[in-house]
Amino acid sequence: MIRVEAVRWTYAGADTPTLDGLHLHVRQGETVVLCGPSGSGKSTALRLMNGLIPHFHEGELDGAVHVDGLAVAGTPLERLGRRTGTVLQHPRRQFFTDSTETELAFALENFGEPPQHIRERVAAAIDEHGLAAFTDRRLQELSGGQQQQVACAAAAAHRPPLLLFDEPTSNLSTAAIERFTATLRRLRAAGATIVIAEHRLHYLHGLADRVVAMRDGRVDAEWPGEEFATLDDEALRARGLRARTAPERTRPLPAYAHGPSIDHDATPSAPSGAGLTLRALRCAFRGRRVLAIDEAHLPAGVITAITGPNGAGKTTLARIVTGLQRHDGEVLLDGRPLKPARRLRESAIVMQDVQRQLFTDSVEAELRLGVPPGAELEERSRTLLADLDLEPFGDRHPLSLSGGQQQRLVVAAARLSGRRIVVFDEPSSGVDRRHLRSITGIMRDLAADGAVVLLISHDDELLAHATQQELRLRPLDGHRDPDVDHPTKRPGWYGMGK
Amino acid sequence: MSLTLGTGSVESAPPTAVRTRRTVRLDPRTKILLVLSSSFVVMAPGGQPFVPAAVVLGVLLALTERAWARALGLPLAASGVAAVAYLLPVALPHPAVGIVAVAAAFALRFVAVGGVALHLVHTTRPTELTAALRAARVPRAITVSGAVMLRFLPAIVAEARAVRDAMRLRGIGGWSGLLRHPLRSIEHFAVPLIASTLRVAEDLSASALLRGLGAATRPTTMRPPRFGAADAAAVLVVAVLAAVTLLSGAVR
Amino acid sequence: MAVQETRTERRIDLRMTPKDLINIGVFGALYLVMVYAITMLGFINPAVMLVSLVASIVAGAIPFMLFLTRVRHAGMVTIFAIVTSGILALTGHPPISFAITIVCALAAEAMLLAGGYRSSRMSVLAYAVYSAWYVGPMMPIFYARDDYFSSPAMRQMGPDYTAQMEAVLSPAVLIAFDVSTVVFGLLGGLLGLRLLRKHFRRAGLA
């Protein structure tokens, strides 16, 4: 099905090749997992297979790639597209339309299928992938897991023999990963050839025919599925891979909080001390209330996870505490009420897309932006850069750094200006084991400095590693998200009759 | 001023676009035709007398989609603007007022055409618009790039909001900054906006290209637009409105 | 950088790849949002309405200049103009504005062609010329002024008043407005060029 032979690929503008001496054969009907540390070339290898290299990304290609008997370099992208279906890391970023139906029809329309045929295929896909429950909702309103289901169905709607997945679970919760696994199993049983580039390995147990570990742009090691299952964590760590077993989902302690938006019981006594206190917080958009918290305390020096399904108000809460969002009620820092304008000066957010918050033309300028100059500033910024492994990049343009480096730069700027409230919004999407640890370390350092650290994330592994307490929110209209496990549903009351 | 009118309504399109109620549905091509023809007539020299007809058309269209607020607001806005244009200078004959009045007379035409355009914007999904343009044999280069642009407008507006948030948190947003260092403020807004948009665009472009966007094959449509009785009725209404305007003798 | 290589082999023909068309759509949307976001500031605060109009011309240059570095085919600026002003026409802009924008785009393409689609000096000029479209939405004020002054209300106002107002709306004012958009377009083009060098080239985006 796929034959990659002696491929060397250098992206335009890069000094070193991303793939170097890559050999890989995939048989028809096989399910292959590509893993390896970030920068090892997993995603790039996928781009080789669907033709984005060399037809979309610019660079220099040596070697031969054949997919389904076609020489990739000499075949137009649209012809390759008929044979491949690709699901990228962020499903919501690849949607071209705003509803499930039109999204499923997109490829079929472009390939010129007759309308009647398209309608039948779309109806069949909705059925097979179990999408009927949300066909009437806008794609942006769906949960991450539902979006992923739609993206899979859209990639497979024109029935391509080869399916490619680029870190498909990086933004999914445990429950959504289970449903994704079921989708994979079904596609595999239907005879599709499947290649998955992935950091997380635990859910692929029993699905993969072959696991290929990549390093430095070539195959580093390779195991048949059953053999891979017998490797211990030590062997995995040696190759820079994440744990194979599912992380133990230990729920951190619930934060002290109560009110309609809170999805857990309040701890009995109100803690006191430094940190954020919220009182009678209410927030509404266009007359619809989205957040209601009667009282909550988010202590300084502690990493608090803010969790809950889409639409529960996680982002709204983060925008309120940082002073970006108007609201009713009171927010106190260390016991003193703070107006939104003051909170803006005390807060920082590490956004999911960090490019949105890099303003200047060098790493050093970025650190100095918005901070009053002083003699000690120079010294502190130097130590900070060294701490965060950014020292050699002082003159580089921030946008030319890697995603992880950009994230650390934003954190450095927040620490330099002494922000007391720091919010991390989904910082781990598409990040490997080493990076995950470095993010956790940065959050701990911030907390140790006395900051209130809030983490919005769906990544169970990150939540388990990093957080000490959890503020779980629920949507106010009573809508429940299938992606979120609800372990605190009180079984006692309902289980008594049995 | 006029620009905000135009793109402002584009931005507000997505939240209501999916709403499907049991209402009169016009073929998107008819809606496009209504906007362009009323714009053509009202914006032309000597188009002033057609303003009431266009406002009536806008109100009727608002009624068909049950947008009660617009059905009421449109004539109110039009008469308010008309009062500034024609009655205010009579009450206060001063050159400064005159300039405002002239601007209002100009804005009145935008309000009239805008009412018709709002119907198009609020009832037509981007995919329907693209399908309509395809059905109207608009060249592929324009339908493809137009479809991409419509897809990106709301996404970029969301990015722009996020960049504004980030600027406020860094203390480089706000009025004082814009007035003291206008160029630097533009730079601080534009660079992250463009960088993050291009990053988002990369995924979307890749996915769209793989799914055949812009392919040499002639694309089809899952539900091709079809003219129906509603479209005939709309044409009839427009004919009546035009005839009444002409017969009322307002046109020299 | 490898960008150099593609730049020298840039062909000028009319066949566009799907990727080119996507580029046009993305930059068209960026241009509209940039211009809209900045003009919006003036809408909130009327005191700075003119300033924000000027600022929007300058700001629009940033995505436009970056777009020009990705133009591989003649006609890309024209299609850019058709889709951006097409959507404005569908939201109520006067048809003449559409026509003016296309003429500006063709003039801009002529300058780019003269510079072999490579010269940055010509790119700046092309943006300045393109910016002249700003006069489009204002056109009805000027060409339809007789409508206004011959209305029953205005006929009561007396000849002095009408003469004053007609002076404000004279062709000279129109030309002055248009010339100033081109001047600010020139400034914007220069800023765009500077940011291209300062940011986008170094970030690998141009």
Residue C133 lies in a domain: yes
Query: Range with the lowest mean pLDDT among A73-82, A224-233, A288-297?
Result: A224-233
Residue of chain A whose alpha carbon sits nearest to that of B20: A136
Q: How confident is the model at residue C6, as a pLDDT? A: 40
Chains touching C (3+ CB pairs < 8 Å): A, B
Q: How confident is the model at residue C47, as a pLDDT? A: 65
Mean pLDDT of B210-227: 89
Q: How confident is the model at residue B19, as a pLDDT? A: 44
Residue A247 lies in a domain: no
pLDDT tens digits along C182-206: 999 999 999 999 999 999 998 888 7
Out of A290-294, A387-391, C162-166, the most confident range is A290-294
Residue C157 lies in a domain: no
Q: Are residues B118 and B236 in the same domain?
A: yes
Q: How confident is the model at residue A245, as a pLDDT? A: 63
Give C63 to chain A, closest Cα distance, Å: 16
Give A359 to chain C, closest Cα distance, Å: 10
Say what the ipTM of the complex is: 0.87
Q: How confident is the model at residue C7, as a pLDDT? A: 40
Axis-axis angle for helices A144-156, A174-189 (nearest 10):
10
Q: Are residues B108 and B149 in the same domain?
A: no
Q: Do B195 and A399 touch (CB under 8 A)?
A: yes
Residue A398 has pLDDT above 80, yes or no: yes
Residue A497 has pLDDT above 60, yes or no: no
Q: How many domains does chain B have?
A: 2
Distances (CA, A) of C109 to B196, C28, C71, C129, C150: 28, 16, 11, 10, 41
Residue A478 has pLDDT above 60, yes or no: no
Chains touching B (3+ CB pairs < 8 Å): A, C
pLDDT tens digits along A95-131: 999 899 999 999 999 999 999 999 999 999 999 898 9
**Facing residue for A361 by CB, picked from C2, C19, C202:** C202
DSSP conformation class of B214: T
Residue A321 has pLDDT above 90, yes or no: yes
Mean pLDDT of B49-61: 94
Task: Mutate one of C6, C22, C198, C199 to test the A interface: name it (highest A CB count within 10 A).
Answer: C199
Between C41 and A300, the more confident residue is: A300
Residue B162 lies in a domain: yes
Residue A490 lies in a domain: no
Q: Work out whether the CA dihedral A307, A313, A319, A320 comes out positive or negative.
A: negative
Between B85 and B175, the more confident residue is: B85
Q: Chain B contacts of C133, Cβ < 8 Å?
A: none
pLDDT tens digits along C100-121: 999 999 999 999 999 888 889 9
Which residues numbered 186-225 in B keep a CB inside 8 Å of some CB on A? 187-188, 191-193, 195-196, 199-200, 203-224
Q: Chain B contacts of C164, Cβ < 8 Å?
A: 95, 98
Residue C107 lies in a domain: yes
Residue C21 has pLDDT above 70, yes or no: yes
- Beta strand pairing status for A469-472 and A253-254? parallel
pLDDT tens digits along A212-226: 999 999 999 899 988
Give A414 to chain B, closest Cα distance, Å: 9
User: What is the pLDDT of chain B when averaged over all its residues?
Assistant: 85
Q: Do A58 and C2 touch (CB under 8 A)?
A: yes
Q: Are residues B149 and B187 in the same domain?
A: yes
pLDDT tens digits along A19-59: 999 999 999 999 999 998 877 889 899 999 999 999 999 89
Whether the CB of C105 is below 8 Å from some CB of chain B: the reply is: no
For tokens 């002082």, what's the residue? A394
Last residue of a domain, one of A209, A238, A267: A238
Q: How confident is the model at residue A228, as a pLDDT? A: 85
**Facing residue for B224 by CB, picked from A113, A115, A154:** A115
Provide the pLDDT confidence category of residue B214 given band limits of 50, 70 and 90.
confident
Whether the CB of C104 is below 8 Å from some CB of chain B: the reply is: no
Residue C54 lies in a domain: yes
Q: How confident is the model at residue B112, as a pLDDT? A: 95
Task: Mutate one of B11, B61, B149, B248 to test the C interface: name it (highest C CB count within 10 A).
Answer: B149
Residue A152 lies in a domain: yes
User: What is the pLDDT of chain C when averaged over all its residues?
Assistant: 86
Q: Are residues A296 and A234 in the same domain?
A: no
3-state secondary structure of C132: helix
Residue of chain A whose alpha carbon sits nearest to that of B130: A97
Q: Are residues A175 and A301 in the same domain?
A: no
Q: Chain A contacts of B159, Cβ < 8 Å?
A: 353, 356
Residue A492 lies in a domain: no
Whether the CB of A361 is below 8 Å from some CB of chain C: the reply is: yes
Residue of chain B whose alpha carbon sits nearest to that of A122: B222
User: What is the pLDDT of chain A when averaged over all its residues?
Assistant: 86
Residue A109 lies in a domain: yes
Residue A174 has pLDDT above 90, yes or no: no
Residue A481 has pLDDT above 60, yes or no: no
Provide the pLDDT confidence category of residue A91 given band limits of 50, 70 and 90.
confident
From CA C83, how far away is CA C100, in angstroms rounded? 14
Give B188 to chain A, closest Cα distance, Å: 5
Residue A361 lies in a domain: yes
Q: Do A56 and C18 touch (CB under 8 A)?
A: no
Where residue A168 sits, what CATH number does that domain have? 3.40.50.300
Contact B28, B85 (CB under 8 A): no
Q: Do A359 and B167 touch (CB under 8 A)?
A: yes
Q: How confident is the model at residue B43, as a pLDDT? A: 92
Q: How confident is the model at residue A431, as a pLDDT? A: 62
Contact C52, C39 (CB under 8 A): yes
Residue A492 has pLDDT above 50, yes or no: no
Q: Are residues A459 and A348 in the same domain?
A: yes
**Facing residue for A58 by CB, picked from C6, C202, C203:** C6
Residue A98 lies in a domain: yes
Q: How many domains does chain C have?
A: 1
Q: Chain C contacts of A59, Cβ < 8 Å?
A: 2
**Facing residue for A113 by CB, picked from B14, B192, B220:** B220
Provide the pLDDT confidence category of residue B13 given band limits of 50, 70 and 90.
very low
Residue B9 has pLDDT above 60, yes or no: no
Provide the pLDDT confidence category of residue B97 given band limits of 50, 70 and 90.
confident
Between A239 and B143, the more confident residue is: B143
Provide the pLDDT confidence category of residue A250 given band limits of 50, 70 and 90.
low
Query: Range with the lowest mean pLDDT among A192-201, C37-46, C181-190?
Result: C37-46
In terms of residue numbers, what domain contains B188?
144-210
Q: How many domains does chain A have?
A: 2
Percent of all residues in chain B with a pLDDT value above 70, rounded to a whole number: 89
* Residues in Cβ contact with A164 at an 8 Å cutoff, skipping those fewer than 6 apart: A46, A49, A50, A84, A85, A86, A87, A194, A195, A196, A197
- Picking from A140, A44, A48, A32, the residue whose alpha carbon sits closest to that of residue A94 is A140
Residue B137 lies in a domain: no
Residue B30 lies in a domain: yes
Q: How confident is the model at residue A430, as a pLDDT? A: 56
Percent of all residues in chain A with a pLDDT value above 90, rounded to a whole number: 48
Q: How confident is the model at residue A267, as a pLDDT? A: 65
Q: How confident is the model at residue A487, as a pLDDT? A: 39
Distances (CA, A) of B55 to B41, B168, B241, C92, C93: 13, 41, 10, 13, 16
In terms of residue numbers, what domain contains A372?
253-480
Q: Are residues A198 and A319 in the same domain?
A: no
Q: Are residues B46 and B118 in the same domain?
A: yes
Residue C1 has pLDDT above 50, yes or no: no
In terms of residue numbers, what domain contains C77?
3-139+178-200
Q: How confident is the model at residue A243, as a pLDDT? A: 66
Q: How confident is the model at residue A432, as a pLDDT? A: 61
Q: Are residues A216 and A265 in the same domain?
A: no
DSSP conformation class of A246: P
Residue B10 has pLDDT above 50, yes or no: no
